[in-house]
Structure 1
C-alpha cells in the first residue's frame, strides 16, 4: 500500500461522529475527513459545529453539521434520516459524545447519575439501534464507542462516569456479537488522559503522574486509532477495547 492509499483509505465511506463540535470529536471529524470520508459532525454545540464544518468544507472536505442530543431517540431518527436522504449510506458510527462530573458516591444524586448514564451509555445504544439499518447495507461497516480507561478500572469521585464507561464496554461486546452476522465491527476505544481545552489549566495533574509516558495524549494520537478502527485495516478486530493511555493501565 502506498502512502497515498493509506491517507485516503476511507474514500467512499460516510461517517457520523457524535460530540463532534470540539475536543476529541472535532479531531475525529478532521481525521476521518482527511482520509477521504464524508463526515457528519453531530452535537448540541451549534456554533462550534457549524464553524468546524465550514472550515473543513473550505479545505475541500465533505463535512456537515447537524444538531443531535444523543439521549433522545427522536433526535437519532431524524439525523439518520438526514444521512440516508443526502448520502444514501452510513459506514462508520463514532459514539464519542460524553459528559463527566466528579462527586463522592455518598453525595451522588439520582438526577446527576441518570444524566451521565443517559448521555454516556443510553446514547450509544440509541445510536446503534437507529444506525443499524443503514450500517448493515454496507460492507465492512464499523462502530467505535468511546469508553475510557475508567471503564476497566475505578476512579475516586467518578462513580457515575466509571459505571457508564464500564457499561459501554459490555454493551460494545454484546453489539459485536449480535452485529457480526452483518459484517459490522464494534469496538470500544479507551483513552487515558487527553490534551484538550479542559486540561490546559492543569497540564501536570490528573492521570499524568501515574502515566508512564508522563503526559497526556494529543488529540491526533486518539484520532489515528479511530481512523484505524474505521478502516479495512482493522477488518478482523471486533468486540474488544483498544486502550490508548500511555501505559496507565499497565501499572
Structure 2
C-alpha cells in the first residue's frame, strides 16, 4: 500500500518504560517532532517528570505485565488520539543477579517485563498498527549480542530473544504493512544501570 494512504495528521507513539532513561529521552524526542506521545510506566511520579514542559506527552501509569495491561494501553491510546502509529518497547527489568543467585521470584518479573509484555502488547496493538501502517520498535541491547560480562545473563538472553522476534515479526507483519525494527544501545548511564552491577560512566 502506498505511503500516502497512511492516516493523515500527527502520529501517535506509545513508549513503555518512559519514566526514566532511554524511555524518557525517546518520548521527548518524538514529542519534539510533533507526535502525540503516550508515556507508559508503573510509577506516576517519574512519568510526570518526563511530561513536564512537553505538552505533546500524556502519561499512562500502567503495569504492562498485568492481565489487562496491554489492552489498557491500546484502548486508552485509541480513546485519547484515535490511532496508534508507533509502539516502542523500552520497558525492562534488570538485576545484579548471576546464574548462582537467580531465584524463581527474580526470574519471573524479568522475563514477564522484558519478553512476554512486548509480545502481548504488540498482539493487542496489531489492528491499530495495521490501520496506520505503523511501526514496532524493540529496544534491545548490545550485550544481547555478546553476553553480559558481569552476570545478568538472563537479561541479555531476553533481549537477544527480542531481537529474534524482531526479525521474525518483520517478515510476518510486512504483508500487513507493519514495519518492525530494533535498536541495540550500548552501556548508557541510566537508572537501570544502577541495578545491574555494571558501572557506566555518567557525563
Interval of TM-score (by shorter of Structure 1 and Structure 2): 0.7 to 0.9
**Which 4+ residue blocks in structure 1 deviate beyond 6 angstroms?**
none
1:11 Cα deviation after fit? 6.2
Distance 1:197 1:97, change over 3 A: closer
TM-score (norm 2): 0.87
Q: Does the Cα contact within 8 Å between 1:76 and 1:130 map onto a contact in 2?
A: yes
Q: Does the Cα contact within 8 Å between 2:41 and 2:60 map onto a contact in 1?
A: yes
Aligned residues: 192
Q: Which residue of 2 aligns with 1:135?
A: 129
Q: Does the Cα contact within 8 Å between 1:95 and 1:145 map onto a contact in 2?
A: yes
- Please point out which of 55, 62, 72 is paired with 1:68: 62
Stretches of structure 1 lacking an aligned partner (at least 5 in a row) = 1-9, 208-214, 219-251
Q: Which residue of 2 aligns with 1:115?
A: 109
Aligned residue runs from structure 1 range 72-221, under 5 A: 72-139=66-133, 141-155=134-148, 156-197=150-191, 206=199
The alignment's C-alpha RMSD in Å is: 2.1
In structure 2, the residue corresponding to 1:21 is in which secondary structure?
coil
TM-score (norm 1): 0.71
Deviation per CA, 1:139-159, whole angstroms, max 9, x where unpaired?
Answer: 3x1111111012111113111
Deviation per CA, 1:22-69, whole angstroms, max 9, x where unpaired?
Answer: 111111010000011110000011012123324212xxxx21100121
Pick which of 154-163 and 126-135 moved more: 154-163
Stretches of structure 2 lacking an aligned partner (at least 5 in a row) = 1-7
Distance 1:71 1:198, change over 3 A: closer
1:20 Cα deviation after fit? 0.6
Distance 1:72 1:199, change over 3 A: closer
